[in-house]
Amino acid sequence: MEFILVVLAVMLAILLGWLLKQSFNTQPWVAEVVEEGAHRAPMNANAKVIALAALLAVITSFFALIMSAYALRMDLGDWAPLTEPQLLWINSGVLVLASITFQWTRNAAMRGDASKLRPGMIVTGVLTTAFLIGQFVAWRQLNASGEYITSNPANAFFFFLTGAHAVHILGGMYVWARATIRLFTGRGAQTVRQSIELCTVYWHFLLLVWIVMFGLLLST
């Protein structure tokens, strides 16, 4: 369990370091284009970076605490290990592809290549939605086989962990949807560049959380 906590701590340190680097490297005389066509200093941009860093810190703490409780609860006698659906492997691959696609889209946004933003955002959204649907199907498969959330503590933790992860992805999908709508309503790449960049970090983070969490579920 200590290894899991160390991995989560390293994840947080790397992401916080990257975000803070982006914040401190922003030159105060560089203006950011806003929706109304005016210009402003990047103070609001830095605030978004710091807000995301704080959010990732909170999410990391949340999952670390739940995983710690998971490890402690396993030692009690009523724990019956759950056989995870094989579909979770496919879901994991889909989430990896979504993260890779978002990174590709982010790179295009940084280059100012607007032609790749719309297809990149759409493919990312489709893959992420497919992951969420796949998780729902996996839950249904467990219920169909008699593995209910109330059957034993292992089941309850499985549904809670995977459900909490899905909820955090849904939160990211809200920001993804706003950025995508802005792209399809004629906004330029510059107006959504930071949203794409921060969403990409969030997607990578949730992918890493899922890998750690899935590894914990498989090993126990």
From the list 218, 153, 170, the residue with the least C-alpha distance to 4 is 218
Q: How far apart are CA 216 and CA 131, in angstroms?
A: 19
Give the pLDDT of residue 161: 93
Q: What is the pLDDT of residues 165-183, one digit of tens each?
A: 999 999 999 999 999 998 8
Q: Are 13 and 217 in contact (CB under 8 A)?
A: no
The mean pLDDT value for 38-47 works out to 52
Q: Which fold has domain 2-219?
A: Four Helix Bundle (Hemerythrin (Met), subunit A) (1.20.120)
Token output for 43: 């103070």
| Residue position matching structure tokens 């703490």 | 61
Give the pLDDT of residue 206: 93
Q: What is the pLDDT of residues 9-41, one digit of tens each?
A: 666 666 656 655 654 444 433 334 334 444 444
| Residue position matching structure tokens 């992805």 | 169
Q: Which run of H or E residues covers position 32?
A: strand 32-33
Q: Give me the residue spans of the domains in the chain.
A: 2-219
Confidence grade of residue 93 (pLDDT, cut at 50, 70, 90):
very high
Q: Is 193 exposed, middle or buried (0-12, 13-18, 19+ CB in 10 A)?
A: buried
Give the pLDDT of residue 189: 65
Structure-model confidence comparison of residues 2 and 150, the more confident one: 150
Q: What is the pLDDT of residues 118-138, one digit of tens each?
A: 999 999 999 999 999 999 999
Q: Is 150 exposed, middle or buried (0-12, 13-18, 19+ CB in 10 A)?
A: exposed
